[in-house]
Amino acid sequence: EPEVTQTPSHQVTQMGQEVILRCVPISNHLYFYWYRQILGQKVEFLVSFYNNEISEKSEIFDDQFSVERPDGSNFTLKIRSTKLEDSAMYFCASSDFSGQAAEKLFFGSGTQLSVL
Amino acid sequence: GDSVTQMEGPVTLSEEAFLTINCTYTATGYPSLFWYVQYPGEGLQLLLKATKADDKGSNKGFEATYRKETTSFHLEKGSVQVSDSAVYFCALTQPLYSSASKIIFGSGTRLSIRP
């Protein structure tokens, strides 16, 4: 069965460092997403990406964040200068359809980012 | 705004026990309700859904009934197995045909089943 792959599963970084979280969406999907979950809190939407541009983003997704599809398979989330409060589980997801998202999303297993 | 509250975990049960994971919601109108499951090392996947009041979603022996009068969507299973150990997320969208940004998730409940 096709799956969304995220690497690494756990990333530790120092405050102020740049990190890149990587995702390989399902190959024929066109819509890509990042979510995050701070420990003990709710899963929150960060950004959606389609046709090589951001289609929607939340208030969390400020200038410190960026996304990119550098080639035909990878989808990356970059945090330019990490803060302690960026420590969270980051989930990538992809879909072949923009609507009915709750039923159509395929999620990766997440990258646990720890900022020290 | 809309929100979802689910019972805090972790929940630990013995195999074959009855499971209930509570989920309540706050929303205007008639949201669609979902349960997702995340097995160890895997991504979240849709477990079941209900799109209108009194609907019952079911899958893999799990059930949840959309109760508008109590704004609840509790997840139940009559006899749990070790393989049900996972994190369970309650969620809603409004309306069903919503974009991914509109999915409201709960914080997840970790379930561990002892053999």
Q: What is the pLDDT of residue B94?
A: 82
Cα separation of A48 and A31, whole Å?
A: 7
B1 in contact with A at a CB cutoff of 8 Å? no
Q: What percent of chain B has pLDDT over 70?
A: 98
Peptide bond before residue B95 is cis, with ω within 30 degrees of 0: yes
Contact A56 B101 (CB under 8 A): yes
Higher pLDDT, B94 or B21: B21
Q: What is the mean pLDDT of residues B27-37?
A: 92
Chain A positions in Cβ-Cβ contact with residue B42 (cut-off 8 Å): 3, 109
Of B41, B98, B107, the CB nearest to A42: B107
> In chain A, count of helices (H) and strands (E)?
1, 11
Hey, of A23, A30, A43, which one would you mutate to test binding to chain B, going by the most B CBs within 10 A of its CB?
A43
What is the predicted pLDDT for the residue at B97?
63
A-B C-beta contacts closer than 8 Å:
79
Distance between terminal CA atoms of chain A? 37
| CA separation, residue A45 to residues A58, A91, B100 (Å) | 7, 9, 8
| pLDDT (mean) for A97-102 | 78
Q: What is the pLDDT of residue B38?
A: 94
Cβ–Cβ gap B43/A106 under 8 Å = yes
Closest CA to B90 of B108, B68, B110, B102: B108
How many Cβ atoms are within 10 Å of A80's Cβ, its own excluded? 12
Q: Considering chain A, what is the average pLDDT of its residues?
A: 93
Q: A68 at the B interface (CB within 8 A)?
A: no
CB A96 within 8 A of CB A28: yes
A113 Cβ partners below 8 Å, 6+ apart? Answer: A11, A13, A19, A21, A79, A82, A86, A87, A88, A89, A90
What pLDDT, in 10s, does the model give residues B44-78? 999 999 999 999 999 999 999 999 999 999 999 99
Give the tens place of pLDDT for each residue, A1-60.
789 999 999 999 999 999 999 999 999 899 999 999 999 899 999 999 999 999 999 999
Q: Which of B53, B28, B77, B105 is nearest to A91 (CA)?
A: B105
Cα–Cα dist B15/B23, whole Å: 22
| A-chain residues near B50 (CB < 8 A) | none
Q: Kindly report the length of chain B.
A: 115
Chain A hits for B38, Cβ within 8 Å = 107, 109
- A56-86 residue pLDDT tens: 999 999 999 999 998 878 999 999 999 999 9
Residue B96: its pLDDT value, please? 61
Q: What residues contact B69, with CB distance under 8 A and at least 6 apart?
A: none
CB contact under 8 A, B43 and A48: no
- Report angle CA B90, B75, B33 to the nearest 5 degrees: 40
Report angle CA A10, B89, B71 to the nearest 5 degrees: 155
**Candidate from B89, B99, B106 with C-beta closest to A99:** B99
- Residue A1 has what pLDDT? 78
Q: Does A89 touch chain B (CB under 8 A)?
A: no
How many residues does this entry show for chain A?
A: 116
Instruction: State which residue of chain B sits closest to A9, comparing Cα positions.
Output: B41
